[in-house]
Structure 1
Amino acid sequence: MREAWGPPASVEFALACARSCLAAPAASARRPQPGREGREGRFPRTARGTLGGQRPGALNYVRARSPREGDSMSYESAETRLGAEHPGDTLRRSLARLASIRFGDASVDEVLGLIVSLAGETISGVDGASLTVRRQGLLETPHYTHEALLALDEAQYEAGEGPCLEALDGGAVVHGTDGLDRWPALAARAGSMGIRSVLSEPLECGPEVLASLNLYSRAASFDDEAKEVSALFAGPAATAFANAAAYAAAAKLNENLREAIATREIIGEAKGILMARQGCTSDEAFDILRRASQRTNRKLRDIAVELVETTEHSPARGGSGGGQPA
């Protein structure tokens, strides 16, 4: 099994309960289809090397270090032990990490980065991985294991065809083999990088395809084991994506509700001040605030905050200090 090209993320995980398929907030650079710009996601950080260069050593997700005095095990001996793992152990470990994500500590962007990183570590024959999503009709690649892979995804976005688009739109696994001749634009760029095959796996939650997980290889095709492991990995990955998006949406809604309650309270206080000063009704006080907001091109809440703060710091509190908001 081939290794990932970068160190894995470290996240403290525990099971979350959010169960909804919501579109993730747009966080990366993008432009309308066809054509787009991707950006590097911020977690987990992935390797930035050269596709045509020499590959790192086996299991490079183990951080090498120089042996220190008193160490009971050197880096080489640890690598040897991990290298003897059964392929199924890697899959079980990756699925356990996905299933135990603590969404309060990991953003949607971080979860997507983890999915891409784990895919590269888990599925045999992978030389690089990326993730394609569509947000409000716009295609983007929020995470990838190598900068050069972004050009392969963009070639498909610009041409309006390719395995990642077929997987995203059709919800079916697409296996492009031996040269990728079915998609000329992709084949031209992939050939210059030595990429000969791609496996695009849809990440589905219910009836919705959330993303396409794109696996690139220098081999002529992915073998049956790789395709089986990819299918087993895709389900939990999609669930983690959907749950992260649901949690983020719930957190945003909670934040908006808190802000709305705070705004209502401060406006109510400002109305009370105006009613006491000018002997007007609640509706008339609100109309005074509204006109002040329009006249100064400021938010009504800001006008209310200023009025309340000015009144609180006034030396003649409780007097007939009259006046209207600016």
Structure 2
Amino acid sequence: MASEHEWQAARRRFIDREGGPTPAADDVDLGPLAEQFVTLGQELNIASESGVIGVLERVVQRAHALVPGADMVSVTLRENDGGFHTPVETDPLATRADHIQYETGEGPCVEATATSGSGFTLSRDLARDPRYPAFGPRVVELGVTALCATGMFPGGDPPRLGALNYHFRDAAGLDDVDRDAMLILASYAAVALQSARNLEVEQLRSAQLAEALESRDVIGQAKGILMQRRNASAEEAFDVLRRASQDLNVKLRDVATTIASRHSEL
């Protein structure tokens, strides 16, 4: 991970270059900031294929590298019913700290997810922060004295998808925090998270469709066998299947599968 000196040097090069001649394609110095996020974008694109958890695990790894002063990093996700949970963290203690926020309804993670603004929330002194009278003292007992969070998406209308949470045992770790880089990371994380969720939904739909088509085929086979053996109509054959399913308390598809696979014994 690039040092703070390298980050600042890259920024100065960008400012000095702005307004000047456009450099040749092979002469562009991305700098540590751009290189980190180009790499992150590639990683998240690959991780999205492994699902939501794969994306979030990659995100917390990058977040921890981005804020080396943080002792722990976690992800808060907002549930459809308005609740919260922590699916991924770098230390189980972070999950315990997050759950205190969810129980009390207080804390930077909840605030970054549920309130308007940039999506960046910070507390340097949780023990005395008047915003969190219930959460602060309890989390300090766990050894977490400071915390900051970035909402996903930053700047978007709340409630957001969730938040990236950075836990500090010593508030001095906040001194080198790069707020802009953290907000960019939260944006990347939100896009990748939504992409992974959509992919999982589509995969579920495809699986359900395949199962439905397979069920229809096997039920059709069973109906054909019954129509032939009993000289019955399609409606009568289906009624036989339905009544057998109810009487045996077995799924209609399973009854049809048994008939189709053992028709020679019937």
TM-score normalized with structure 2 length:
0.78
Deviates more, 1:142-151 or 1:116-125: 116-125
Query: Which residue does 1:169 correspond to in 2?
Result: 114
1:235/1:84 CA distance change after superposition, 3 Å? closer
CA deviation vs aligned residue, 1:123-148 (integer Å, no higher than 9, x gap): 25322111111223242111111111
Secondary structure of 2:161's match? strand
Going from structure 1 to structure 2, the CA distance change for 1:187 and 1:242 (only over 3 Å counts) comes to same
* Contact persistence 1:196–1:221 (CA under 8 A): no
- For residue 289 of structure 1, report the CA deviation from its aligned partner: 0.7
Q: Does the Cα contact within 8 Å between 2:48 and 2:192 map onto a contact in 1?
A: no
Q: 3-state SS of the aligned residue for 2:167?
A: strand
Counterpart of 2:254 (choices 294, 297, 302) is 302
Give 1:225 shift.
4.8
Contact kept? 1:178, 1:197, Cα under 8 Å: yes
Give the structure 2 partner of residue 131 of structure 1. Answer: 75
After superposition, the C-alpha distances for 1:272-300 in whole angstroms (9 at most, x for unaligned) are: 11111112211111111111111111110
Instruction: Check the 8 A contact 1:99/1:240 in 2, yes or no.
Output: no
Matched, 1:247 2:222: no
Q: Is the 8 A contact 1:164 1:213 kept in 2?
A: yes
Q: Count residues with an aligned counterpart.
A: 234
CA distance in structure 2 between the aligned counterparts of 1:214 and 1:104, rounded to whole angstroms:
21
Once residues 164 and 305 of structure 1 are traced to their aligned partners in structure 2, the CA distance between those partners, rounded to angstroms, is 51
Q: Distance between the aligned counterparts of 1:142 and 1:275, measured in 2?
A: 52
> Do structure 1's residue 93 and structure 2's residue 44 form an aligned pair?
no
Q: Which amino acid aligns with 1:156?
A: Q
**Gap regions ≥5 residues in structure 1:** 1-58, 60-81, 315-320, 322-326
Tell me the secondary structure at the aligned position of residue 134 of structure 2: helix
1:220-231 to 2 correspondence within 5 Å? 222-223=174-175, 225-231=177-183
User: SS state of the match for residue 149, structure 2?
Assistant: strand
Instruction: Report if aligned partners of 2:78, 2:160 keep a CA contact under 8 Å in 1.
Output: no
Paired residue for 1:263?
215
Whether contact under 8 Å (1:132, 1:212) holds in the other structure is yes
Pick aligned residue for 1:108 from 48, 52, 69: 52
Q: Distance in 1 between matches of 2:222 and 2:193?
A: 44
Map Cα deviations across residues 253-287 of structure 1 (whole Å, 9 max, x no partner): 11111111111000011111111111221111111
Give the structure 1 partner of residue 135 of structure 2: 186
Task: Determine if contact 1:178/1:221 at 8 Å carries over to the other structure.
Answer: no
Identical aligned residues as a percent? 32
The 5-angstrom pairing of residues 40-119 of structure 1 reads 86-87=6-7, 89=32, 92-100=35-43, 101-103=45-47, 105-119=49-63
The one-letter amino acid of 1:265's match is: D
C-alpha distance in structure 2 between counterparts of 1:200 and 1:83, whole Å: 21
Consecutive unaligned residues in structure 2, runs of 5 or more: 8-30
Hey, what does 2:241 align to over in structure 1? Answer: 289
Q: Which amino acid aligns with 1:278?
A: R
Question: How far apart are residue 193 of structure 1 and its match?
Answer: 4.0
Which of 1 and 2 has higher RCO (CA within 8 Å, sep 6+)? Answer: 1
In structure 2, what is the equivalent of residue 120 of structure 1? 64
Shift of 1:223: 4.2
**Larger helix share, 1 or 2:** 2
Matched, 1:237 2:181: no
